[in-house]
Amino acid sequence: MTEKVNTTHEIGGDGYARIQGYLKTLDSSPGVYRMLDAESRVLYVGKARNLRARVSNYTRPGGHSGRIDRMIRETASMMFLTTRTETEALLLEQNLIKQLKPKYNVLLRDDKSFPNILVAKDHAFARIKKHRGAKKEKGAYFGPFASAGAVNRTLNQLQKAFLLRNCSDAMFESRTRPCLLYQIKRCSAPCTGLIGAADYAESVRDAERFLSGRSTRVQEDLAAQMAEASEAMEFERAAGLRDRIRALTQVQATQGINPRGVTEADVIALHLENGQACVQVFFIRANQNWGNRDFYPRVGADVSAAEVMEAFLGQFYDNKEPPRQLILSDAIENEDLMAEALSGKAGRKVDILVPQRGEKAELVSGALRNARESLARKMSETATQAKLLRGLAEALDLDAPPRRIEVYDNSHIQGSNAVGAMIVSGPDGLMKNSYRKFNIRGDDLTPGDDFGMMKEVLNRRFSRLIKDDPDRNKGQWPDLLLIDGGAGQVSAVAEIMQRHGVQDIPMVGVAKGVDRDAGKEEFYRPGARPFALRHNDPVLYFVQRLRDEAHRFAIGTHRAKRAKAIGATPLDDVPGVGATRKRALLAHFGSAKAVSRANLADLKAVDGISGSLAETIYDFFHDKG
């Protein structure tokens, strides 16, 4: 992308006059413009086929919505980037919106990646597993699925149907007898030779055919095999085939409606109401419905459906591969540009449709109903959340209802594998994309020193916050800190806050009281006597839910760290031994202990281990003195 102009000037007068002053510097090139306030914060990012014509629209008072009028009046300066094509302008606009999060743009706030099913083929016996992220592994990918739960349910049934392994390569190579999955008929045990390579490969092909939409063929083949087994009076084999057919039927049942005439598409429906929006996305792949997700982009009260839909598409597919068709509930203004941009990203044609009749229109109607119902639930939850935040402000004597609450907790076992956890809640509920975990590093901490751990977590959190957002204008600073613990934890946190010069953020410790019973919590604030809320106060239940969520997140993080530590081996510390060579060594010798005892000649005999690396490994385990 080429940039011909990068201009910012400050011009006197009100917003309309300031914008007028830029017209003489602009031509008819396509590009992107930014509107900034008096403190150089980006208010709005827009694209234009013709920059001069587009910006001139902002110079005429009257005819603008209230949102746009406010934006113009707040504008103190502008920046411009010209591009070679309109499509480049569209892509740059959406990229800048995601980076800068301007106040007056439609903003997609939840933009996580989606999981896929991977049939990994970097081994003689393919492995089936869940995959998220870049598609770097060799194999066949099927997805996206709407959630990890949808993938796990499908994988569970596919294991029953096709008996494919899901164990790691190292585990596969180390087996001497079948594992539990073979006993419960979830795997055919290729690790111990109970199925041949040709038969296993045929099962892999059947699984791929099923995931590619050719499910009828697979079920017909299994039904024929079941009939043959019955005729041959091989009743146990027939029962196994029956269970496999039943598992495939179960997958189809959980998918709901599977469209006949739509092979690969995302069905995207938008519902706007009272200045809020819900976008519902259904993933159709291989004529199968692989689930749906709802999104709640930030919108204004006077935005159009076309503006919201176009912004959603640009931001949603910024880091995702678009399908062959996008089936929308509402048309967008720049359909040709969006189709061209997405086609370029996918490396093939992407069609954008707004169907009026037929099966595609029925799919949109179903998605629209889901969007409408989801937004109604969301608005109800938001109203309840707002009421709870007002009650919390009153109970804790805050100046206003908090918009960002950070809750902190620690987890460890006698000081080992210690982690700190931070969860965040606000007007829209839990903000899971803002959760953070902290591996406790302090070598000078006494094992089990909860006060020291809390100090380290808060010190790291606010050191980073002061560095990243010193002006507190990015929405990252909390209005309230809730600490799991009593007076000691609060005192430790207050010491850290004072050290960083941050003394205007209220903090409250939540302790379970003398009997450690839920409902008898005591609240601690610096320099004040502890207090309690009445047993049936909704605010108390709200605080309990926040504390329990922080505890759940901390425990989960601690368990993951502990499991990783259990799976660690001395090979992890050997210079030059990465994951691939580690697998080769474990496959050859069977265990890390056997590697440590191996002689130099045996180490050199391992595939992928050079003579010099074999010497490094041998020296690592034998030169300890």
What are the helix (H) ranges across 111-214? 148-162, 169-174, 180-183, 197-211
Distance of alpha carbon 146 from alpha carbon 598, whole angstroms: 48
Give the global pTM: 0.72
Tokens at 471, concatenated:
């002006």
Is residue 472 very low, low, confident or very high in pLDDT (cuts 50, 70, 90)? confident
Q: Which CATH architecture has domain 570-622?
A: Orthogonal Bundle (1.10)
pLDDT tens digits, one per residue of 142-171: 988 888 888 888 888 788 888 899 888 888
Start-end of CATH 1.10.150.20 domains in the chain: 570-622
CATH architecture of 6-100: 3-Layer(aba) Sandwich (3.40)
Note the pLDDT tens digit of each residue in 486-516: 888 899 999 999 999 998 999 999 987 665 5
Structure-token match 């006949």, residue found: 260
**CATH H superfamily, domain 405-565:** UvrC, RNAse H endonuclease domain (3.30.420.340)
d(Cα 40, Cα 102) in Å, to the nearest integer? 11
Tell me the pLDDT tens digit for each residue of 254-308. 555 667 788 899 999 999 998 899 999 999 988 888 888 999 999 987 889 999 9
Residue type (1 letter), 357: R
Q: Which H, E and C letters describe 192-216, residue by residue?
A: HCCCCHHHHHHHHHHHHHHHCCCHH
Rama region for 185: left / alpha / beta (φ>0; ψ in -120 to 50; rest): left
| pLDDT for residue 4 is more than 60 | no
Does residue 252 or residue 34 have the better pLDDT? 34
Q: Determine what percent of the chain is predicted with pLDDT higher than 90.
A: 42
Q: Mean of the pLDDT values across residues 196-214?
A: 85
CA distance 455 to 415: 15
pLDDT band at 217 (very low <50, low <70, confident <90, very high): low
Residue range 264-376, CATH number? 3.30.420.340
pLDDT value, residue 362 = 93
Over 80: is that where the pLDDT of 572 sits? no
Among 189-203, 260-274, 519-533, 558-572, the range scoring the smallest mean pLDDT is: 558-572
Output the CA torsion sign for 170, 176, 182, 187. positive
Three-state helix/strand/coil letters over 406-430: EEEEEEEECCEEEEEEEEEEECCEE
Name the more confident of 429 and 109: 429
* Residue 593 Cα distances to 563, 579, 590, angstroms: 19, 17, 9
Q: How far apart are CA 575 and CA 171, in angstroms?
A: 23
Strand pairing report for 77-82 and 6-10: antiparallel
Interacting residues of 122 by C-beta distance below 8 A, sequence separation 6+ = 137, 138, 139
Does the pLDDT value for residue 331 go beyond 70?
A: yes
Q: Tokens at residue 153, please?
A: 């349910």
Pairing of strands 436-439, 416-426: antiparallel
Q: What is the mean pLDDT of the chain?
A: 85
Contact 114, 320 (CB under 8 A): yes
pLDDT on residue 253: 56
pLDDT at 1 over 60: no
What CA–CA distance (Å, rounded) separates 490 from 336? 57
Q: Check the CA dihedral 234-235-236-242 and report its sign.
A: positive
Average pLDDT of span 537-557 = 90
pLDDT in tens, 377-427: 888 888 899 999 999 999 999 999 999 999 999 887 655 678 889 999 999
Q: Residue 160 is encoded by which pair of tokens?
A: 């029953």
Q: At what angle do helices 86-100 and 335-346 cross, to 10 degrees?
A: 80
pLDDT of 347 > 80? The answer is: yes
Q: Is 339 left (phi over 0), alpha (psi -120 to 50) or beta?
A: alpha
Dihedral (C-alpha) 102, 103, 104, 107: value to the nearest 10 degrees?
Answer: 60
Q: How confident is the model at residue 446 (pLDDT cuts 50, 70, 90)?
A: low
Beta-carbon neighbour count of residue 346 at 10 Å? 15
**100-150: per-residue pLDDT in tens?**
999 999 998 776 788 999 999 989 999 999 998 888 889 999 988 888 888
Residue 2, pLDDT above cutoff 50: no
Eight-state DSSP code of residue 297? -
- What are the beta bridge partners of residue 26? none
Has residue 624 got a pLDDT over 70? no
Report the residue count for the chain: 625
Higher per-residue confidence, 562 vs 466: 466
Which residue ranges does the chain devote to CATH 3.30.420.340? Answer: 264-376, 405-565
**Reading across the β-sheet that carries 31-36, which strands appear in turn?**
6-10, 77-82, 31-36, 42-48
How far is residue 510's CA from residue 484's CA, in Å, rounded to a whole number? Answer: 5
The pLDDT tens digits for 5-28 are 444 444 445 888 889 989 988 999
The reported pLDDT for the residue numbered 255 is 53
Q: How confident is the model at residue 518 (pLDDT cuts 50, 70, 90)?
A: low
- The per-residue pLDDT for range 532-542, each reduced to its tens digit, is 988 888 999 99
Mention every residue, 6+ apart, whose C-beta is less than 8 A from residue 571. Answer: 577, 582, 585, 586, 592, 595
